Amino acid sequence: MAYHLALLSSIILLLAAGTNAGGIAIYWGQNGGEGTLAETCSTGNFDYVNLAFLPTFGNGQTPMINLAGHCDPYSNGCTNLTTDIKSCQDKGIKVMLTIGGASGSYYLTSAADAKQVATYLWNNFLGGTSTTRPLGPDVLDGIDFDIEGGTTEHWDDLARYFSGYSGQGKKVYLTAAPQCPFPDAYIGTALKTGLFDYVWVQFYNNAPCQYNGGSSNLEDSWKQWTTEIPATKIFLGLPASPTAAGSGYIPVGDLTSQVLPAIKGSAKYGGVMLWDKYHDNQTGYSSSIKSHV
């Protein structure tokens, strides 16, 4: 009897652990040599794909996407991506449009400016209607905030406007990629709204909180993010190769034996985010970590 009870307890624990299994998010779009979006989704490795970037918007500018060598938005050449987006979504993969980036021309001047940007993105990439949809007619799953410049204000306004659209049919997912120093210098206030579904924190290019051969500083930062940010899930953002970022790369062995076991206990653990598909192709990082995430 005691044996059967112990066995039952073990099964329950395993089932409980299984419910906290994570997924992998990947950035795609900034290197024409990384393969197609459809190929990215066909690997079976990813649950979320962020299309990078829309780096021009706000302050009266016409929003413009930049998908590097994949297509030319100026000649309406990115509309054929709609088929790839649909193929990803048919596999259950959420596809977001990432706004911002490390370099770009974006700046919100007011709440009214934020509303204008939200309206444009809703009509041109989400569930609204427009005759000039840059990625074609397919409806993306949400907007990813990778804000690393411009202004520190009105990102909370932008999040609220997007969230308002969720009541108009298909849910609009809100995700973000803040830097690991807490709070994030640009979108710290926006993240406090509780409107974000997934937050993939960049634990790279940030020496104070990234992995340094031991997981203690990363673990301390992780605990702060998971306890103080009211998001549905928090992800560990990492470079997919040593050359994908200036610092913060974690060897597969260290990630699976030290880092993931230290952070997976959190109820808000969502998985791992990788920058980016091109570098993942070079290392096979996502394939190496998938069964551990």
pLDDT in tens, 232-291: 999 999 999 999 999 999 999 999 999 999 999 999 999 999 999 999 999 999 999 999
pLDDT value for 191 = 98
Query: Model confidence at 10, in pLDDT bands (50, 70, 90)?
Result: very low
Q: What's the mean per-residue pLDDT of the chain?
A: 93
| Total-model pTM | 0.93
Closest-CA residue to 182 (of 157, 208, 159): 208
Of these residues, 34, 39, 148, 228, which one is catalytic? 148
Comparing C-alpha atoms, which of 221, 209, 292, 224 is closest to residue 258?
A: 292
Instruction: Kindly tell me the burial class for residue 213, based on how many C-beta atoms sit within 10 Å of its own C-beta (0-12, 13-18, 19 or more).
Output: exposed
Is 40 a residue whose pLDDT tops 80? yes
Proportion of the chain above pLDDT 70, given as a percent:
93
The residue-averaged pLDDT of 144-158 equals 96
Position 292 confidence tier, pLDDT thresholds 50, 70, 90: very high
The confidence band for 12, taking pLDDT boundaries of 50, 70 and 90, is very low
Question: What average pLDDT does this structure show over 104-128?
Answer: 97
pLDDT at 7 over 80: no
Residue 6 has pLDDT above 90, yes or no: no
Of residues 202, 178, 204, the one with CA closest to residue 192: 178
Residue 125 has a pLDDT of: 98
> Could you identify the residue written with the tokens 């997976």?
264
Distance, CA of 166 to CA of 170 (rounded, Å): 6
Cα separations (Å) of 111 from 116, 117, 184? Answer: 9, 10, 20
- In this structure, is the dihedral angle defined by the CA atoms of residues 239, 173, 181 and 153, taken in order, positive or negative? positive
Chain centroid to Cα 154, Å, comes to 20
- Write down the pLDDT at residue 20: 59
Per residue in 46-98, pLDDT (tens digit) is 999 999 999 999 999 999 999 999 999 999 999 999 999 999 999 999 999 99
Domain 22-289 architecture: Alpha-Beta Barrel (3.20)
Q: Per-domain residue ranges for the chain? A: 22-289
Decide if 148 is catalytic.
yes
Over residues 149-160, mean pLDDT: 96
Strand-by-strand arrangement of the 105-106 sheet: 61-64, 56-58, 105-106
- pLDDT of 129-141, one tens digit each? 999 999 999 999 9
**Band of pLDDT at residue 230, cut at 50, 70 and 90:** very high
